[in-house]
Chain A
Amino acid sequence: MEGFKNLILKIGRVDRRWIFLVLAIVVLIPIFTPIGMPIRATVTTKVVYDTIENLPPNSKVLVSIEYSPSTKPENHPMTISILRHLFRNDHKVFVTCLWPDGQFMAQDALKQVAEEEFGKVYGEDYVFLGFRPGNEAVVKGIVSNIRKLYTVDVYQTKVDEIPLMEGINKFSDFAFLFSSSAGYPGTIEWVQYAADPTGVPMSTGVTSIQVNEVMPYVQSGQMKGVLAGMPGAAEYEALIGQKGSATSGMDAQSIAHLVIVLFIILGNAAFFIERKRSRKY
């Protein structure tokens, strides 16, 4: 028993760089040799899917992109899946960005899904309005008068000349909002200044670190479900039946979690053994 305790103490004192190396190896192995762990949709993901599924055809949907390349592995797969779902159901998509880098992310997603996969026509099936600085003031602007804020789209075409913009003057002209968010300004600002005051239903896809922050809005019914980080994106990929980068990352995610839990247990065990010994002497 004493030998075992000494071993745990030895592991507890290991240079943290070895832990980084172990974690890197553990993440890399499943990427090279996928295990194919089952993915089951959670209730919050299912609610997002059902909400979009129940929208009448040709609904006008606002998709807001609020993330940068730094959280691309989490947010981008969910944006792509949501766009696939919207275009598959023949909805009209309007894209705005509250983050400047979001413009590139949105451009990338639209090119892949709208142009290459679905062959949708710009200005008739979707519009890319782009980024405007101002954080929550932009949300307020979209709610009160979108045309005052966006006189031109991202390609500098006047919105008055875009056929799909006909009848779109304010936020309540949309049937649904999906916010793909990585922080401020993002989901919470959309709830506070757009969805709650107007009653337009909204869902969101957020980074894992934000889940705790936005979950109260989901539980209280202020938002229709949430896609929680990479697992949420993988679940949505499973629901629409089109696997993507989130699904392929889930094996590594699961195994890395097990290893981190193991390290936490070992670290705590080492701490308690050491404390017990220091009290003894």
Chain B
Amino acid sequence: MSSTAILGAWIAVFLTLGIFSYLYKDNPFYKTAEHLFVGVSAGYWTSIFFWTQIQPNLFGRLWPSSEFSADTIWYKIYNGLSFFSSSVFPEGGIDKGHDMHLIYLLPFALGVMMLLSLIPKINWFARWGIAYTVGMAAGLRAYGYLNSNVIGQIKGTAASFTDPNLPFFSLTSPSIFNSIVILVGTITGLLYFYFSKEHKGVLGKVSKVGIYFLMISFGASFGFAVMGRISLLIGRFVDLIKYSGSEYLNATVWVLVIMIIILGYDAFKGSGKGTPVSEDAV
């Protein structure tokens, strides 16, 4: 076993047990793991975004190696940038298989505008970038949801009751019964969210049926959520058991014992400033 693998195992064990220690109470181990997670995630995402999109797909289209010419002003600017970072702007242009597309100066400018939000005096520039992103996302999603979540769902669940091949009852395949359940559930569920009329009389009774459908749906979601959390717990335990082996220098055992001793000593001395686990932290 290499020393980096062993070190990695010890770090993994410390971070896992640090997060688990919150179930006892808030403590420095948990805080350390939490802060490391946030910091490393932000750094990792930034790095990945830069090297998979900005460098190859933006700079790669603005200064492609295929059209490199050291005499032009455009590539003189590039050579200037290359002086600061030869890894981002390698000599001879960026070779990622692109041709030159100066239209990409537009997203480049919008991206820079987003970063200007850090400067209070000119942070209004960021609104241009945000406006473009929101507009593009809204347009994309409007189409997607209308096509798949409205039309696709209606097409997929609508059934012809006169179809002789459609059985009256089937749990797992299309049937008249299932279609009626979907129809009733959808209409009553939607009516529950109709607030222009007081929920009394017929509307009150119908919307109550909608509540039952919603509750069944929430129950199913809760069940699946529990199942998911237990799966993740199993995954961590399997790793902790693996790292407790002698090939990893009994990482789990040592880290667990040290944590228990420190937290126990802290509790014994009564100096623990941490608050007990919150009521809703399950």
Contacts and interface: CB of A to CB of B under 8 A. Distances in A.
Contacts of A5: none
Contact of B145 (A23, A73, A192, A249): A192
Contacts of B24: 17
B152 A31 contact: no
Nearest to B221: A212
Interface string B213-231: 0000100110011111011
Given A16-B282, A192-B144, A193-B144, A31 B52 contact: no
**Which of A136, A209, A210, A257 gathers the greatest number of chain B CB atoms within 10 Å?**
A209
A264 B155 CA distance: 39
- Size category, B interface: 35 or more
Interface string B118-145: 0000000000000000001100110011
A222 interface: yes
B148 A208 contact: no
A210 B225 CA distance: 8
Contact of A152 (B56, B155, B241): B56
A58 B152 CA distance: 30
A217 to B, nearest CB: 7
Contacts of A189: 144
A38 interface: no
A136 B148 contact: no
A149 B98 CA distance: 10
B162 interface: no
B227 A222 contact: no
**Which of A132, A212, A260 gathers the greatest number of chain B CB atoms within 10 Å?**
A212
Given A17-B277, A159-B97, A192-B145, A253 B56 contact: no
Contacts of A220: 152-153, 155-157
Q: Is the interface of A mostly helix, strand, loop or mixed?
A: helix
A234 B226 CA distance: 17
A37 interface: no
Interface string A183-215: 000001101110011000000000111111000
Contact of B235 (A73, A149, A257): A73
Given A31-B238, A221-B156, A136 B97 contact: no
Interface in B87-103: 96-98
Contacts, number: 151
Contact of A212 (B23, B44, B49, B217): B217
Interface string A26-59: 0110011000000000010000000000000000
Given A73-B235, A207-B228, A151 B157 contact: no
Contacts of A152: 56, 96-97
A268 interface: no
A119 interface: no
A222 B52 contact: no
B277 A16 contact: yes
B96 A72 contact: no
A133 B97 contact: no
Contacts of A28: 237
Interface string A213-237: 0001101111000001111000000
Nearest to B147: A196
Interface string A242-270: 00010011001100110010000000000
Q: Which 9 A-B pairs have the closest CB atoms?
A: A220-B156, A73-B235, A192-B144, A208-B228, A151-B97, A100-B48, A230-B231, A208-B227, A192-B148
13 contacts: A23-B233, A31-B234, A31-B237, A70-B232, A73-B234, A100-B44, A133-B53, A137-B140, A152-B56, A209-B224, A212-B220, A245-B238, A257-B230
